[in-house]
Amino acid sequence: MAPCASLLLPLFAILATLPIIQSVPTFFPGPSYDQSLAKIPKASKPKIPYKTHYFPQVLDHFTFQPKSSKIFYQKYLVNSHYWHRGAPIFVYTGNEGDIEWFAANTGFLLDIAPKFRALLVFIEHRFYGESMPFGNKSYKSAETLGYLNSQQALADFALLIRSLKHNLSSEASPVVVFGGSYGGMLAAWFRMKYPHIAIGALASSAPILQFDDITPWSSFYDAVSQDFKEASLNCYEVIKGSWAELEALSAQKEGLAELSRTFRACQDLHSLDSVWEWLWSAFVYTAMVNYPTEANFMMPLPAYPVQAMCKIIDGFPSGASKITRVFAAASLYYNYSRAEKCFKLEHGPDAHGLHGWNWQACTEMVMPMTCSEESMFPTSSFSYKEFAEDCMKTFGVKPRPHWITTEFGGKRIDLVLKRSGGNIIFSNGMQDPWSRGGLVLLFLFGILFSFQLTINGIYCGFLRHNNS
Amino acid sequence: MAPCASLLLPLFAILATLPIIQSVPTFFPGPSYDQSLAKIPKASKPKIPYKTHYFPQVLDHFTFQPKSSKIFYQKYLVNSHYWHRGAPIFVYTGNEGDIEWFAANTGFLLDIAPKFRALLVFIEHRFYGESMPFGNKSYKSAETLGYLNSQQALADFALLIRSLKHNLSSEASPVVVFGGSYGGMLAAWFRMKYPHIAIGALASSAPILQFDDITPWSSFYDAVSQDFKEASLNCYEVIKGSWAELEALSAQKEGLAELSRTFRACQDLHSLDSVWEWLWSAFVYTAMVNYPTEANFMMPLPAYPVQAMCKIIDGFPSGASKITRVFAAASLYYNYSRAEKCFKLEHGPDAHGLHGWNWQACTEMVMPMTCSEESMFPTSSFSYKEFAEDCMKTFGVKPRPHWITTEFGGKRIDLVLKRSGGNIIFSNGMQDPWSRGGLVLLFLFGILFSFQLTINGIYCGFLRHNNS
């Protein structure tokens, strides 16, 4: 019942609305409304023209069985408006979604492209968007999904970038990789593993330390809670108290019926889980996109949406129930445009099969998460045994919980980066709950990193460095 | 017919005595005598006690299909005689052969172990020695061999080292990796790809630039030839002229019969190829192990065996044929101990199936090689098309000729290493033909690398560095 996610999709569990979530609620607490990538509004299309290309990509870079060399077509977008040959190439290392969505929401690259006369390239991650190695059978089973993981994705990027540079006769162009969330992890790891291809990386909101026991398991939800607490102590307390109120109501006769009405459910609710998950998603994703301006990445939202939510909660007369308040707050997330007449709190049977991240979470991306007493969510623990059992049941696969830190490191990463790769900007807003699993805390604790002063300055720095 | 190898086993084609070699002589010019790993003399057993262990290793680190998680047992040797907890761990990254052989022939590690109170670990490479993922069916087909490649091997090392340190409660122990030949390439690449696990590497005779067009394709055989030319111009000219003399003789009636007698073949020869390959192997491998002391790595040999060979060639009376001279010289390689009454120049039908390197050469380790007019071998060119056809015919696999340089880099590697990993000692004797594909030439051309002054000094340096 606990809405705290032991595995959270890095940025958009919102995309992973699958029935499997229902069967493993503790570990796949995806939202219970019918929202999927396929429904991304047209406004998410890139605002400047990108030319779409498809690269013949190798299915398996790390084995050489006859079937390993199967080719699939990987989508990538190119804007050469500002570019001249030999100038830098800025590559967005796509994450778990349609690449056009990322292209539409990565303004920084567009902002700096003219200054550097840079070529912009957005590469879609295998098994997302249109880049399906087995077409519409890509998600069929562990046999096909087996090829979906970060190392294969990094190798895809390497092969594509090398080919692109060759075809453009621009082998000397410095390449800088960019990414946010899981894409940020990929950007950082790409620079670490392929320093001969990328001279630097901007890894935004990239929780590369959210593995093993490097980051305290409760830190993510503590950070979400802290955001709300900072906006308003009362707001935090209302949300924290709402779960028990919901549970008590649902235990009553006709409780679910009342909840269905209160939450304006399009269809009668069958369990409290969907309400919890609906609220949980609203609070967690709003904390993730608590941007200082109006934006429309996850959902259309006003500037500082956490503060806006708390204003709603605090604005009720003193006698109002916590349930009424949290519903109103969550409605800001789901219905800022006020277009929705009712909410689809439970999955329909035909929810879209975009559960790629759940697969990744069940194989390599094992990020243990708990909710502490300090969080505004019900407390929860993490049991690796249960998690592994759920993954086996859902996907027929056993997680490798220590693989990411074996492959990419994590412990004492500050020293490792200092002595090896470097040239990676880890950029996090401190209100971003993912900052706790990123490298920002290292700054706070004074364990050096000399970069991240002014991003622009550093870009100039390492581009000059490469060209010198 | 040309004995020049477009694909040469890095150190010991000697191990790859398979019938397939006969079917693709141009690309798999392995020696034609019956010598294999299984026949390594007992003298090759490690001289100091190593305890043998077997690590439960994951079959495929980079896919997550149900079968990927199959476990096989990877052999490794440990000597803890000098070690105390927290002291360095020196790891030999095993290459294409039985790990005991490498342990027996890597004296440097033993020499420095007491000084550093180091733990010594020799890890066997998957698909070699006893570390067979599919038991005696490991070499059955491309389906099983598909898992044999360098990236999987590096991941094996990473997993094993991490587990070992954990089990020894020595997570803070600095790890330095060592390797020679292909093992040296692995050591260098391991430091580059896993800087969070290894703080440095000694890559001895590691031709990591022998790919694509980074190193001139003729450089390897030019270097072999140069070694002989430096020993004696006449010796070089006799060898260079011997191939035509052999060809002329074999074209005569009874020519092969005469060659069988001259070369003391145990069985009548069926083609000139085997004679060429037998000679070719003797000259090439002797150049590779032209050590200043008596040694027994490939074969028992005197100090400076190239010079010894040339002394034999030059010592004949002036009327002696070139054929007689080169046979006598090659006999030094095959019969220094004078125990052989005859030579097995052609493969027997039951030659041992240790052709792992041929598989690797046909997939990722594509090292184009040619013989120039300057070499002492018949001139030859390299046709990728023919090579790929042969690989498809032999293994049912298509090579990926640019994969190694995509995965590990190569071009401008001096700059890449300077700005990223570093802490790698590339050690080559300049007479070693593999030095041309290594990083030593960079020194010669003045393109910096500040290390390799005194090896010991540097070790002290980077161990202190890590402990500080």
∠ CA B57-B157-A398, rounded to 5°: 40
- Distance, in Å, from the CA atom of A58 to the CA atom of A38, rounded to the nearest integer, reads 26
> Cβ contacts (< 8 Å) between B401 and chain A: which residues?
none
Q: Is the pLDDT of residue B409 over 80?
A: yes
Structure tokens at B47: 């001289």
pLDDT digits 0-9 by tens, A195-221: 999 999 999 999 999 999 999 999 999
Best mutation site among A196, A360, A393, A411 for testing chain B: the one with the most B CBs within 10 Å? A196
Stated as kind and residue range, the H or E segment containing B72 is strand B71-79
pLDDT of residue B286: 95
Q: How do residues B163-196 score in pLDDT, each as one tens digit? A: 999 999 999 999 999 999 999 999 999 999 999 9
Structure tokens at A458: 């550093």
pTM of structure: 0.88
Phi/psi for B72 (5° steps) reads -130, 165
A419·B63 Cβ contact <8 A: no
Chain B positions touching A68 (Cβ under 8 A) are 146
Could you tell me which chain B residue has the CA closest to the CA of A468? B415
**pLDDT higher than threshold 50 for residue B322:** yes
Supply φ then ψ for residue B466, to 5 degrees: -70, -35
**Least confident span in A452-466, B56-70, B96-110:** A452-466
Q: Which DSSP category does B12 fall into?
A: T
Q: For residue range A306-351, list pLDDT tens digits in order.
A: 999 999 999 999 999 999 999 999 999 999 988 888 998 886 433 3
Measured between beta carbons, the chain A residues lying within 8 angstroms of B158 are: 406-407
Residue A306 tokens, joined:
């956490």
Provide the pLDDT for residue A22.
28
More confident residue, B178 or B48: B178
**Could you tell me the two tokens for B456?**
């010991």
Mean pLDDT of chain B: 83
Question: Between B158, B403, B410, which is nearest A406 by CB?
Answer: B158
Taking chain B, what is the end-to-end CA distance rounded to the nearest angstrom?
58
Question: Exposed (0-12), middle (13-18) or buried (19+): which is A316, by Cβ within 10 Å?
Answer: middle
CA distance B129 to chain A (A): 20
Q: Do A421 and B66 touch (CB under 8 A)?
A: no
Out of A65, A402, A416, name the one closest to residue B196 (CB): A416
Q: Choose, out of A59, A64, A418, the residue to mutate when testing the contact with B (most B CBs < 10 Å).
A: A64
Q: Which residues contact B451 (CB under 8 A, 6 or more apart)?
A: B423, B424, B425, B458
Q: For an interface test with A, which of B69, B140, B196 has the most A Cβ atoms less than 10 Å from its Cβ?
A: B196
pLDDT (0 to 100) of residue A178:
97
Q: Which residue type is seen at A295? A: A
Q: How far is B364 from chain A (nearest CA, A)?
A: 9
Comparing CB atoms, the residue among B58, B142, B411 nearest residue A65 is B142
Q: What is the complex's ipTM, to 2 decimals?
A: 0.87
In chain A the first and final C-alpha atoms are separated, in Å, by 58
Q: So what's the pLDDT on residue A8? A: 35
Pairing assessment for the beta strands A200-204 and A175-180 based on DSSP bridges: parallel
The CA distance from B72 to the nearest CA of chain A, in Å, is 16
Chain A residues inside the 8 Å CB shell of B150 = none
**Residue B226: DSSP 8-state:** H
Q: Report pLDDT digits (tens) over B224-277.
A: 999 999 999 999 999 999 999 999 999 999 999 999 999 999 999 988 999 998
Is there a contact between A86 and A169 (Cβ–Cβ < 8 Å)? no
pLDDT of residue B46: 58
- What confidence tier does B378 reach under pLDDT thresholds 50, 70, 90? very high
A266 to chain B, closest Cα gap in Å: 39
Of all residues in chain A, the one with the smallest CA distance to B396 is A66
d(CA B16, CA A281): 59
CB B120 within 8 A of CB B110: yes
- Residues B123, B53: Cα–Cα separation, whole Å: 9
Among A24-38, A248-262, B351-365, B413-427, the least confident range? A24-38
Answer whether B162 sits within 8 Å of A410, measured CB to CB: no
> Is residue A161 a contact partner of residue A78, using CB atoms and an 8 Å limit?
no
Distance in Å, alpha carbon of A413 to nearest chain B alpha carbon? 7
Query: Counting beta carbons within 10 angstroms of the beta carbon of residue A167, is it exposed (0 to 12), middle (13 to 18) or buried (19 or more)?
Result: exposed
Q: For residue B415, give the chain A residue with the closest CA.
A: A196
pLDDT value at position B296? 85
What token pair was written down for B60? 């495929």
DSSP state of A252: S
Q: Do A407 and B155 touch (CB under 8 A)?
A: yes
Contact A64 B143 (CB under 8 A): no
Q: CA-to-CA distance for A65 and B144, rounded, in angstroms?
A: 8
Residue B403 has pLDDT above 90, yes or no: yes
pLDDT at position B47, please?
Answer: 63
Say what the pLDDT of residue A117 is. Answer: 96
Nearest CB neighbour to A149, from listed B62, B194, B406: B62
Shortest Cα–Cα distance, A423 to chain B (Å): 9
Average pLDDT estimate for B309-316: 97
Selected residue of A403, A412, A415, A420 to mutate for chain B interface (largest B Cβ count, 10 A): A420
- Is 70 exceeded by the pLDDT of residue B26? no
Of A162, A195, A402, the CB nearest to B406: A162
Strand-strand pairing, B119-123 and B89-93: parallel
Please say whether the beta carbons of B68 and B150 come within 8 A: no
Q: Are A175 and A88 in contact (CB under 8 A)?
A: yes
% of chain B with per-residue pLDDT over 90 = 67
pLDDT at B24 (0 to 100): 26
Residues of chain A whose pLDDT is less than 70? 1-48, 347-354, 421, 440-468
Residue A338 CB partners (closer than 8 Å, separation 6+): none
A-B Cβ pairs (cutoff 8 Å, strict): 137
User: How far off is chain A from B115, nearest CA to CA, in Å?
Assistant: 25
* Pick from A60, A68, A420: CB nearest B420: A420
